[in-house]
Amino acid sequence: MSLAVTSLRELAQIQHYYGFRYVLNPSVHEQIFDKLKLSKTYPKLDKLKVLDLYPGPAQHSAIFNNRYRPAQHVLMDMRPDFVKHISGLLEQDKTDKPAMQLYRHDPYDWKSYTDLTDADKILVPPRKGPEAIHDEFLIMANLTGMIGEGLFMQWLACIGNRNWLQRFGRVKMLVWLQECTAVKLLAKPGDHLRSKCSLVTEAFTDTKLVATMSNKKTGTSNFSEDLMAEHQPVMFSPQDVWLPSGKPLSLLEINPRDHRIDLDNFDYVTKHLLILKSTPLYESLDSLGHGGKEYFRQVIKDQNLLEKCPKNLTLSDFLYCTELFDKWPFKPDIYLDFIDVFQDND
């Protein structure tokens, strides 16, 4: 028996969406799963555990579940309206072994995950090595809401750190994000949206644009031609999205990489250099600390590199700078790199 796929009518009754948007067109989801070829990553579907974060209307969950029949499929959500909706949905599943289960915790809270895997042991993924993508665990999430971008950035950091759910191995994530976030994450050198998160994405993950919304008027997307050609994403129309108003969204497939990057220095260097992203390195390096200009001009022999602007640098350029930075005898204390704007006293 397959799970019912929620109709649009039902969903219209849900009041609060907190800025989240969901694709509610089964065929789009089918196309997406066609494209993803998940059975390649997860050859033993009967062992696959899926964590579905902010599932909302859970249409995609149902479709996914019907299609792959994973060993375990946990939906984590805490928003009252959706909890109600999902509970209703799950009640229809009268089998002894329910296909999906709801875990009523806030996906924003780190504690929810330790509870899930350690305390409550609801979903316990096996630990896998760094050699390959985890083949028994998949994370799906919708982070199209207001807090989504911030949360995703933290998850990215978790991939770098190998903590959170990523401590179980290189766990694939399918994440719905606002299109503008996805654009930033996938920005290439030279793109004016090239930013720290683009570098982090590039450094820690192999990320693909799986699907994206077509522009209302032009029918094209806001991603560059190159990128569209490279990723060939599934396109869906604004009408496939609920709520009807809001910002466009995209689906990313994130495959964590095995890396050995000096995280703190990398973080410091990228953060600071990308502030003056259009200033040539020979100038912008000075903002790394006292005497930065002198030091780097001395140690960077490649004049071409010095002429480049941070936004044009490749990941390896940044890694090179990070390395040099680490070797700098007079480098500043990177752990004091913050400011208390209002040091209130009362």
Partner 1 sequence: MLRCSRSCYRFHGVKRLIGQLRPLSQTAFLKKPSMNYYGLESGPSNDDIGFLKSSVVSMAPGFGTFDNAQAAAQAGESRNIMNLWSLLEACLHSGYMDRAFSILRSLYNLKSYRASFIDDYNKYLTKFAENATDLKTVDKKLFEDLQKTFPAVDYNDKTLAILIHNAIKLSDSKETRSKHCETYLRMAVSGYRGILSNVEVLTIQDYRTLLHDLGLIEVHDLPAELGPIVVASGVSPEGTEEPKRTAGGTHGITGMAKDSPEFAFDNEIKTVAKDAKELLAVDTIGMKVVRHTLLGLSLTEEQRKQVKDFNFETASNLLNFEEGQSNIDFFEIHRTLKTDEERESFAKALDEFNQDRQHQLEHRATDAAKERWRHDFEEAKARGDLSIQKKLNVKLWDWFNQMLPLVKEEVKRCAEVANHSVQDGSLSAKEKKQNKAREDYGPYLTLVDPEKMCVITILELLKLNSTGGVIEGMRTARAVISVGKAIEMEFRAELLLKNEAHVFKDIKKNSHVFKLLVQRARNTFRSMKIEESKILWPQEARAKIGSILISMLIHVARVRVEGTDPLTQEKIQGEAPAFSHGYQYHNGSKLGVLKIHRSLVHQLNGERLVAAVQPQLLPMLVKPRPWKSWNSGGYYYTQSTLIRSKESPEQVAYLKAVSDAGAIENVYRGLNVLGETAWTVNRKMFDMMSHVWNTGEPFLDIPGNQSKLVLTPQPPRDADPSVHRQWKLKNKELANEFSGGRSARCDANYKLEIARAFLGEKFYFPHNLDFRGRAYPLSPHFNHLGNDMSRGLMIFWNGKQLGSNGLKWLKVHLSNLFGFDKAPLEERIAFTESHLEDIKDSAEDPLNGKGWWKQADKPWQALATCMELNAALKLDNPCEFISHIPVHQDGTCNGLQHYAALGGDVEGAKQVNLMPSDRPQDVYSHVAKLVVARLEKAAAKGDETAEILKNKITRKVVKQTVMTNVYGVTYIGATHQIEKQLSTVFDDYKHSYELSKYLTKHVFASVRELFEGAHLIQDWLGECAKRISKSIRLDIDEKAFRNGNKPDFMSSVIWTTPLGLPIVQPYRENGKKQVATNLQTVFISDPFAVNPINARRQKAGFPPNFIHSLDASHMLLSALKCGENKLDFAAVHDSYWTHASDIDTMNVLLREQFIKLHEVDLIERLKNEFDERYKNYLQIIKIDKKADVATKIVDLRKELSQKLGRQFTLADEIYMEKKRVQLLESEDPVENGEGAEMVTTVSLLGEVEDIALLEKTSDASGIMVLAPLKLPQIPPKGDFDVKELENSKYFFS
The annotation places the binding site at: 23, 77, 106, 142
Q: Choose, by CB under 8 A, the member of 161, 220, 278, 298 that binds partner 1.
A: 161
Q: According to the binding rule CB under 8 A, does residue 125 interact with partner 1?
A: no
* Shortest Å, Cβ 200 to DNA: 9
Q: According to the binding rule CB under 8 A, does residue 21 interact with partner 1?
A: no
Amino acid at 162: R
Q: Among residues 230 and 262, whose Cβ is nearest to partner 1?
A: 262
The residues of the shown chain that bind DNA, judged by CB under 7 A, are 15-19, 108-111, 146-147, 149-151, 153-154, 157, 180, 184, 192-193, 195-197, 245, 267, 271, 274-279, 311, 341
Q: Write out the two tokens for 319.
A: 């890694």
Distance CA 135, CA 125 (A): 10
Distance CA 234, CA 34 (A): 10
Residue 227 phi, psi (nearest 5)? -65, -40
Binding-site positions for S-adenosyl-L-methionine: 23, 77, 106, 142
From the list DNA, partner 1, none, pick the one residue 180 interacts with, judged by a Cβ distance below 5 to 8 Å according to partner type.
DNA
Q: Among residues 198 and 212, whose Cβ is nearest to partner 1?
A: 198
Q: Choose, by CB under 8 A, the member of 44, 275, 299, 316 that binds partner 1.
A: 275
* Shortest Å, Cβ 346 to DNA: 7
Total residues binding partner 1 (CB under 8 A): 40
Q: Choose, by CB under 8 A, the member of 141, 286, 309, 322 that binds partner 1.
A: 286
* Shortest Å, Cβ 158 to partner 1: 6
* Shortest Å, Cβ 299 to DNA: 22
Q: According to the binding rule CB under 8 A, does residue 267 interact with partner 1?
A: no
Q: According to the binding rule CB under 8 A, does residue 298 interact with partner 1?
A: no
* Shortest Å, Cβ 6 to partner 1: 32
Distance CA 321, CA 235 (A): 38
Amino acid at 146: M
Q: According to the binding rule CB under 8 A, does residue 292 interact with partner 1?
A: yes
Measured in whole angstroms, the distance separating CA 49 from the mean position of its chain's CA atoms is 19
Q: According to the binding rule CB under 8 A, does residue 129 interact with partner 1?
A: no
Residues at the contact surface with partner 1, assessed by CB under 8 A: 110-111, 114, 154, 157-158, 161-164, 167, 263, 271-272, 275, 286-292, 326-333, 335-343, 345
